[in-house]
Amino acid sequence: MIDVKSVSRFKLSYVSGFDSALVTFESDVDLIAWRVNRLGTSWDTGEVLEEESLDWARVANRTWDSLMSESWGQQAFIEAGISITDQIEASELQTGTQRINVYGKDRNGNWSLWQGDNLD
C-alpha cells in the first residue's frame, strides 16, 4: 500500500545541512492516517517519529452544518497517489544504522506492512 518514492539522504549527522532527511511516499489507496517509525516491526512497534491522523470516525455521522452534504468521516482522508513528505532529524535517531518504517492506514482501518529504508 505504501511506496517510498525518495529519500534525500541516507546518512545523517549533527553538521548543519546534513542533519535531516526528507522522505517522500505515496499510497495506492486512500489514507486516514500515516506514521513514520524508527525501528519496530509493525505500525504499533518502534518509536514514532512523525504521524498524521485524519481518522474522525467519532464524528462519522455528523456534518459541519447545513451547507455540507458529506459527513466528517467521508471527508477525512488523503487521496491515493498524493505525495506526502516528512522530515527526519538526526536528533531523533541514535548512533548507528536504523530502519525507518513508513505505514499507512486505509479507510477501513487497516494498517499497511512496513515500507522503509535504513538511515545512519
Alpha carbons 30 and 112: distance in angstroms, whole number: 12
Grid cell locating 52? 498524521
Grid cell locating 27? 499510497
Alpha carbons 8 and 100: distance in angstroms, whole number: 13
Q: Hey, which residues does 20 pair with through a beta bridge? A: 89
Q: Hey, which residues does 111 pair with through a beta bridge? A: 105
Q: Hey, which residues does 36 pair with through a beta bridge? A: 50, 102
Alpha carbons 98 and 113: distance in angstroms, whole number: 17
Q: What is the mean pLDDT of the chain?
A: 81
- What is the arithmetic mean of pLDDT over 36-50? 92
pLDDT at position 12:
87
Least confidently predicted of 30-39, 55-64, 80-89: 55-64
Does pLDDT of 74 surpass 70?
Answer: no
Query: pTM of the prediction?
Result: 0.77
Assign a CATH topology to domain 2-115. Immunoglobulin-like (2.60.40)
Grid cell locating 83? 505525495
- The separation between CA 112 and the C-alpha centre of its own chain, rounded to angstroms, equals 11
Alpha carbons 112 and 61: distance in angstroms, whole number: 26
pLDDT at position 66:
42
Please, what's the b/e burial string for 35-60 (b: 16 or more CB within 10 A of its CB; e: otherwise)?
A: bbbbebeebeebeebeeeebebeeee
Does pLDDT of 119 surpass 70?
Answer: no
